[in-house]
Structures are given as C-alpha cells and as structure tokens.
Amino acid sequence: MITYQIVFEGTIISSATFDKADFTPETLTCVDQSGTIDRVISAADTDYQRVKQTAKNNGSLYQVPKGSYLLPGFTDLHIHAPQWPQAGLALDKPLNEWLNTYTFPLESKFKDLDFAKKVYQSLVKELLANGTTTGLYFGSVHTDANLILARICADLGQRAFIGKVAMDNKDQTPDYYRDDSSEAALQETERFIKEMLSLQKETQANLTPVITPRFVPSCTDETLLGLGQLAQKYDLPVQSHCSESIWEDSYAIDCFQMTDAQVLDKFNLLTDKAVMAHGTQLRDSDLDLFSHNHSAIAHCPISNAYFGNSVMRVNEANKRNVTVGLGTDISGGFSPSIYRNMQQSIMSSQMLEDSGTDNARLSADNVFYLATVGGAKALHIPVGQIKSGFKADLQIVQDQYFDVFSNEPQEIFERLVYHTNKENIKQVYVSGKLVHENRGEE
C-alpha cells in the first residue's frame, strides 16, 4: 500500500465545470511523495476506513477542522511585483499620471537589490497568505532583481512564472527607466532566461521564465520581433497587456492599423502559451484570434475599474473557447487577494449587463472556476482541481459564520467566495508541502 505524504480528511470544494463547483463531504485527499494527488476517496468507498487508519497510524492524516474546507490554491495571472509598495496609492489619478509620477519612479528603485529583496519577501508571503499558490509575475527591467524574486519564490515554496520586463521605446518610456536599446533588452532577456533555468535546476523549485514585453507602446518593433523569436527558441510562456484601455487599443490602431491582438500576433507573441492581461477593449474578432491561437486572458476586475475604461466580457470569451483566469494586477489593483477579485468580477459583470451587454452576469461558480481551473489552464499546469493526477496546491479555509448561517452546501460555497479574508485561510500547501500557516485564533 502507498505511503502518502499527507492525507486530508474533510469536505472538498473544487470546480467541476465553468458553471458548477462540487461540494464533497467526508473525503480523503491522498497526496503521494511527489506532491501529486493520488486518490480522492469518498466515505462510501470500501477502503475509506482502511486508508484513514493507515494514515493515522503513520502520522500522515490531517483532519480538516469542522467548519473549514479544503479548496484548490489560486493562480494569479497578473502581478507587477515591483509595484507592491504602491498598492492602493494614487488610483484616483489618470493612468498616464499614475505611471509617470508614481509607478516608473518606484520600479526604477529595484536596481537596489537590498530594496528588491525586502519588497519581494513581503509580497510573496502576502500572496501565499491569501491562498495564491501560483503567481505570474512582471518583474522590472533589472535582471538581477528579478532573479532575487525567483529565489524568494523558491525559498518560500510558491509556484512562480517570472518575466524580465522589456521596454525600450524612447517615445513611450522615461529615460531613467528603460532598456538602453533593443539589443540590450533582448540580451538581458536571454540572460534572465538562462539564469532562471539554472536556478530552477539548482533549487528544483517550480520556476519558469516568461517573455515579457511591457506592452506594445513601450517596445520598438525590433524588440517585439526579437522577443517573439526568444519565445520560440526556448519554448516559453509570453505575457503582456492587450487592449487594456481605450488609449492602448487606439495606439495599436494608429501606429499599425491593426488591433492590439493583431500586432502581438504579427510579432509571434500571441502564442498558445501567451497570457495577455485585461482585454477590456477586445472585439469579437480579437477573441476569435485568441481562440484560434489558444492564447489566454488574465481578467483583472479591480484594476479594470480604475484604468480599463470598460468591463472585460468574460462570458463572451468563454463562449468562444478562450481560456480566462484572474489577476490581481498589483498595483493597478490594490488588493493581493484573488477572493477580492472574484467578488469584483461578479459586481462588474452585473454592471456590464446593466449597461446593455446580454448574458454578461457571472456567478460565484464562474469566478471560482476562473481563480482555479482557468488560471491553471492558462499556464498549462496540473493544478486548480482536487482530483487524481493534479498537484496538491491547496488551501484550508475556515467559514467564519459556520455556527450562525445556513450550512446548505451551495450557501457555504457562496459564503466562502464573498466573505473569506486572509485571516480565514488557515493553511496553504504547494505540491503537498505546507508553505503558509495562520497561527491566529481558531
């Protein structure tokens, strides 16, 4: 009989489809030594008691407390790591002022590696405490600072996808914060890739380098072309922004006589490993291009409320078989919590429907799918569901109103989506290893 790394006994909540989350009580979730879920055993299975007793005997049984539930960890598809110190700052300003007065000066500070280490330690710990087991990060232009972020993710146990930001267009970037040239942007990107792959091998951590043009306006054609070639050479994911706002969308039309999505496609950046953030201005033809290329969208509802000029059409994208996950967009989004972004997704979708877009409304089941399965599919990783063959990236969440409110399964689930905060997330696991524990009052 297999000796498991850990066996969780308790109720699990995991997405079955885009429209339905399963609530399964009295379950054993059995995690093997590689951190993969080997079996999910229900109380009705004949060997339930035998597996439970064996786990109890060898000290690998963890009984989820009454009123708490086992959920998949979340994937955050859009994090600007160097912007963490300004989360919640100046969000009442226009985007151009926000970038030039606050964001670019802050990001330029990450040439100071001690500053980078201090900020990134804080950020990664905060994300783990909020149940985010996988992060897709924009770094800064500084290769060495980005490698510090990677090592911190490795040390703290988070599954991390990280990109060195490329930005060399002198007309759209400040002289104190940009790559010196296209050649420099591409050379440093390739150095970052090689260093990241070496670090991954050294640490055996879940680290992946990502090709990262900041967005079309910030890069010259030469850089966009070179980044597309690097993505192909190393078979790597790509991340950028796409049609985030009216301004960005119009820039592509004015400069290329193409939509933002078409420009990215032209430079071989809209690949089957691409995750493009925001997409509030995407046309039906753009969504069809995403679908054809098997590219994914990071929906950032809090950030979009400030800078997106619209609400991203999640249901329309899903109807067209476009993979969609959630992103916090620290710091255009002020909160590091995917729970907060699930809530905002639902609220924003109702506003979109009220403004005349039919069938735009999202449910708690829909947004939970985005936070778990959607993000995992976007990054092509076996996480986001509690079932055999998936990595045990998990969170144990306490229902703070268990003793007061209804305990009907659907009502418990919706309550967790709407009311969970960091204090309610009691433990977080990546590949079956404990990476965060809330030692506060039960």
Residue 274 CA, distance from chain mean position? 13
Burial (CB < 10 A; 0-12, 13-18, 19+), residue 78, is buried
Percent pLDDT > 70 in the chain is: 99
* pLDDT over 80 at 113, yes or no: yes
Of 74-78, 96-100, 366-370, minimum mean pLDDT range: 96-100
Q: Which CATH superfamily is domain 6-72+384-437 in?
A: Urease, subunit C, domain 1 (2.30.40.10)
Q: How confident is the model at residue 1 (pLDDT cuts 50, 70, 90)?
A: low
Please tell me the predicted confidence (pLDDT) of residue 442: 43
CATH domain 74-379 topology? TIM Barrel (3.20.20)
Please tell me the predicted confidence (pLDDT) of residue 36: 98
Name the segment(s) of the chain with CATH classification 2.30.40.10.
6-72+384-437
In 205-357, which ranges are E strands?
Answer: 207-213, 238-242, 274-278, 296-299, 323-326
Name the segment(s) of the chain with CATH classification 3.20.20.140.
74-379
pLDDT, tens digit, for every residue of 19-42? 999 999 999 999 999 999 999 999
* pLDDT over 60 at 441, yes or no: no
Please tell me the predicted confidence (pLDDT) of residue 187: 98
Question: For the residues of 273-310, what is the DSSP string, one character each?
Answer: TEEEEE-TT--HHHHHHHHHHT-EEEE-HHHHHHHSSS
* pLDDT over 80 at 361, yes or no: yes
* pLDDT over 60 at 192, yes or no: yes
Please tell me the predicted confidence (pLDDT) of residue 325: 98
Cα three-residue angle 53-69-348, rounded to 5 degrees: 160
- Is residue 377 a contact partner of residue 325, using CB atoms and an 8 Å limit? yes
- Strand partners for 330: 79
Q: Is this prediction's pTM over 0.85?
A: yes
- Strand partners for 39: 30
Q: How confident is the model at residue 370 (pLDDT cuts 50, 70, 90)?
A: very high
Residues 77-85 have a mean pLDDT of 98
| 3-state class percentages of the chain: helix first, strand second, coil last, to nearest 5 | 45, 25, 35
Q: How confident is the model at residue 95 (pLDDT cuts 50, 70, 90)?
A: confident
Q: What is the mean pLDDT of the chain?
A: 96
pLDDT, tens digit, for every residue of 222-255? 999 999 999 999 999 999 999 998 988 999 999 9
